Amino acid sequence: MSRLPQKPVAGLTKGLRTPSRVRPATRQTSTTARAPQASSPCTALGGTRCYATGSDNKPSFQGQMLESVSSRIAREKAEREKFARQRIESAGTRRWATTFVILAASLGSYFLGTLSPRDPADTSTAPLGLVRDPKHKVDKHNLEAAWADFAAIVGKDNVSTLSSDLDSHAGSEWSSYRNDEGYKPFMVVFPSSTEEVSQIMKVCHARRIPVVGYSGGTSLEGHFTPTRGGICVDFGRMDKILALHKGDLDVVVQPAVGWERLNDELAEENLFFPPDPGPGAMIGGMVGTGCSGTNAYRYGTMREWVLSLTVVLADGTIIKTRQRPRKSSAGYDLTKLFIGSEGTLGLVTEATLKVTTKPQSTSVAVASFGTIRQAADCVSKIVGQGIEVAAVEILDDEQMKCINAAGMTNKSWKEAPTLFFKFAGTDRGVKEQVAIVQGLSKSSGGQSFEFAKTEEEKSQLWSARKEALWSTMAVAKPGDKVWTGDVAVPMTRLPDLIEETKSDIKASGLYGTIVGHVGDGNFHIILLSNDEQRHQAEELVHRMVKRAVELEGTVTGEHGVGLVKRDYLPHELGQTTVDTMRKLKLALDPLCLLNADKVIRISKPKPGEIAEW
């Protein structure tokens, strides 16, 4: 009997089970005709199930075949999805493995590098072009965290963030440097001992916080301006005279001891400390600038009166440069290295100073002249004849006018170029010196000569010299600011330099006075200018410094370099000398934490920042 034709129906294979084995269909034959039968279920269903089962409800060949194909397609799809998942998982694993290998190799290389450190730089100097800019961390989070560290070291009452403290430790009205508004410390820390300073520096070194030291705050060239922010270490609590060795003529002091107070206490033992800079100066700053003062002509500068220093380095290491003997051949003279370094190499926490006995007799004399040239010539004669006056100071006519106008002394002075002399020694020696100087003064064009006969007259005559800066500031107009700069030249060149500078002041239209320790070729200009005149003042000082260097002099005799004189050093000393200084700086302070930007540059200047020579 013939089989009814079957047609595939869409969706027929969905949900069919794949048989474990497909049996081939067999054709049934018969020689006898079969009687017609009633319609089968597949007819009743419109033939739909006929693709799954035959008329006897057994799986048909075509149904089994479709079921097998569908099963294979589903299996292949599942395998593809499985392989895709494996590829994704494998790729992630490979990435992690690669990352691990790179990290392991890096750590291994770093470890091997620590076992075999790189060779140090083989140059003897450090040119600015080869130096990387320092990387300080002065973000608020780091500094606030450091506050807690400092409070634990010195006590929270000795860590200040008051705006009044921050302003006073950023600059001063008598400084030549004009502060940028952003140049302020984040906080001021007040230690009381060398050990506390060491702990403070260890914190700053670990956190990369820049530090500026501060004692009397009388510096004039921007020495304590915090150009990099950070903190200021104020030594105000370290103001003790630790030991006096009268038999050895030395004294051990902390940095906040003032030279005036020190001499008051030494006087009780008939001793004194000769360096005498401006009132208010303290030993820490005096060491930092290598100052001198009015007594330098006879007694020398600070460098001659410091025996030994205790210094805290940038990483908190404490060193002592020497013992107490008057002379030593033991190694490098680190004492002299730190004197004049302006806090850029270390923080001085103790100083052993030489002292000397007070002279038996002293006297003071004042001589006036017709011109500043005559006064300078008189000084040259005194020096040339080797007369050992204790001090010789010059004040020009404008300076004498300021002293009278300010009324800071009890005497009315002749408003003319004036020399102030100090004599010291035996009674007979002083009288001889006074007589010789009086004769030289007259031969140089002196118009008057007055010497003190009593202690009261000595104080009165000498007080005018000590009030020079303050009296000039007293006559300033509203808006005027003071600029005090100094230079020094060989004695024979001094008259020319003073005369040319005074003429330049008059030609500029600015108001300025001249005062100086002319016995050693050093003099100062005190200039008043407002904001509009600032450029004129800068140009005038620039010309004065240039003249001094060209006369084989120095850009600063005692004020120090700071920020104002920094870019003049290569012209005086040579670029390679400055590069050698930078090498020393980087050797002791590789992170450039200590008083950054003073004395030498540690970052490249901006275009046009350095004046044309």
Cα–Cα distance between 191 and 347 in angstroms, integer? 12
CB 126 within 8 A of CB 582: yes
Q: What pLDDT does residue 241 have?
A: 98
Confidence class of residue 458 from pLDDT cuts 50, 70 and 90?
A: confident
With bands split at pLDDT 50, 70 and 90, how would you rate the model's confidence at 402? very high
Q: Which of 422, 381, 385, 433 is nearest to 298 (CA)?
A: 422
User: Based on the number of CB atoms within 10 Å of its own CB, is 75 exposed (0-12), middle (13-18) or buried (19 or more)?
Assistant: exposed
- Grouping H, G, I as helix, E, B as strand and the rest as coil, residue 272 is strand
Beta-carbon contacts of 106 under 8 Å, excluding residues fewer than 6 positions away, are none
Query: Which whole number is the average pLDDT over 150-164?
Result: 97
Q: Nearest-5° angle of CA 32, CA 37, CA 40?
A: 130
**Spatial distance between the Cα atoms of 482 and 402, rounded to a whole number of angstroms:** 14
The residue among 461, 401, 407 whose CA lies nearest residue 434 is 461
In the structure encoding, which two tokens stand for residue 565, read together?
């004189």
* Structure token digits, residue 149: 């560290």
Quote the pTM value: 0.80
Q: Is 368 helix (H, G, I), strand (E, B) or coil?
A: strand
Q: Choose between 377 and 85: higher pLDDT.
A: 377
pLDDT class of 24 with cuts at 50, 70, 90: very low
Kindly tell me if the per-residue pLDDT of 209 is higher than 70: yes
**pLDDT computed for residue 9 by the predictor:** 42
- CB of 64 within 8 A of CB of 22? yes
Cβ pair 18, 66 in contact under 8 A: no
Q: Which residue has the higher pLDDT, 43 or 208?
A: 208
Partners of residue 245 on adjacent β-strands? 250
Question: Can you give the pLDDT at residue 466?
Answer: 81
pLDDT band with cut points at 50, 70 and 90 for residue 359? very high
Spatial separation of the C-alpha atoms in residues 541 and 483, rounded to whole Å: 9
Instruction: Spell out the long-range contacts of 177-181 with Cβ–Cβ below 8 A and sequence spacing 24 or more.
Output: 177/221, 177/222, 177/225, 177/562, 177/563, 177/564, 178/481, 178/534, 179/222, 179/225, 180/227
How many Cβ atoms sit within 10 Å of the Cβ of residue 319? 13
Assess contact for 312 and 347: CB atoms under 8 A.
Answer: yes
Q: So what's the pLDDT on residue 30? A: 42
CA–CA separation, 202 and 190 (whole Å): 15
602's tokens: 């540690």
CA distances (Å), origin 595, targets 185, 319, 442: 12, 19, 49
Q: How confident is the model at residue 18 (pLDDT cuts 50, 70, 90)?
A: very low
pLDDT at 570: 97
pLDDT grade for 36, boundaries at 50, 70 and 90: very low
Q: What angle do CA 384, 385, 391 make, to 5 degrees?
A: 80
CA distance 588 to 176: 28
Confidence of residue 2 (pLDDT cuts 50, 70, 90): very low
Q: How confident is the model over 545-591, as pLDDT tens digits?
A: 999 999 999 999 999 999 999 999 999 999 999 999 999 999 999 99
Residue that is written with structure tokens 């440069």 in the block: 321
Task: Please check the confidence at residue 32 and state whether its pLDDT lies above 70.
Answer: no
Q: Which amino acid is at 404?
A: N
Rounded CA gap, 83 and 552, in Å?
86
The answer, yes or no, to whether residue 490 has pLDDT greater than 50, is: yes
Query: Quick one: pLDDT at residue 22?
Result: 41
pLDDT value, residue 206: 98
Q: CA torsion, points 280, 283, 287, 290, in degrees to nearest 10?
A: 40
Whether the pLDDT of residue 200 is over 60: the answer is: yes
CA dihedral 390, 394, 395, 396 (to 10 degrees): 160
The Cα 326–Cα 341 span in angstroms is 22
Region 506-521 average pLDDT: 91
Average of per-residue pLDDT across 279-291: 95
Residue 8 pLDDT grade (very low, low, confident, very high; cuts 50, 70, 90): very low
Distance between CA atoms of 310 and 593, rounded to whole angstroms? 19
Q: Can you tell me the mean pLDDT for 43-69?
A: 60
Phi, psi at residue 549, to the nearest 5°? -65, -40
> In this predicted structure, what is the pLDDT of residue 13?
40
Query: Comparing C-alpha atoms, which of 442, 434, 302 is closest to residue 377?
Result: 442
Q: How is 516-556 classified by DSSP, letter by letter?
A: EEGGGTEEEEEEEE-GGGHHHHHHHHHHHHHHHHHTT-BS-
The tens digit of pLDDT for each residue in 302-352 reads 999 999 999 999 999 999 999 999 999 999 999 999 999 999 999 999 999
β strands within 377-461, DSSP E: 391-395, 418-425, 446-451
Q: Percent of the chain having pLDDT more than 90?
A: 68
42: left (phi over 0), alpha (psi -120 to 50) or beta: alpha
Which H/E stretch holds residue 261?
helix 259-267
Mean pLDDT of the 426-433 span = 92
**Residues 557 and 551 sit within 8 Å (Cβ to Cβ):** no
- Give the pLDDT score at 42: 45
Contact 242, 350 (CB under 8 A): yes
Joined tokens for residue 321: 């440069």
Give the pLDDT band (50/70/90) at residue 116: low
The count of C-alpha atoms lying within 13 angstroms of the C-alpha of 90, restricted to the half-sphere facing its C-beta, is 6
3-state class of 41 per DSSP?
A: helix
How far, in Å, CA of 519 to CA of 501, rounded?
18
Reduce the DSSP state of residue 27 to 3 states and report it: coil
pLDDT score recorded for residue 460: 81
* Rounded distance between C-alpha atoms, residue 559 and residue 565, angstroms: 10
Confidence class for position 102, pLDDT limits 50, 70, 90: confident
End-to-end CA separation in angstroms for the chain: 124
**Residue appearing with tokens 């100073």:** 353
Q: Which two tokens stand for residue 323?
A: 């013992």
| Domains contained in the chain, CATH given | 1-118 (no CATH), 140-234 (3.30.43.10), 241-357 (3.30.465.10), 361-564 (3.40.462.10)
CA 490, 423, 271 angle in degrees (round to 5)?
A: 105
Listed range (125-129, 172-176, 212-216, 403-407) with the worst mean pLDDT: 172-176
Please, are residues 319 and 334 in contact by the beta-carbon 8 Å criterion?
yes
What is the rounded distance in angstroms from the CA atom of residue 2 to the CA atom of residue 27? 10
Which CA distances in Å does 478 have to 175, 398, 482, 525, 533? Answer: 17, 19, 12, 20, 13
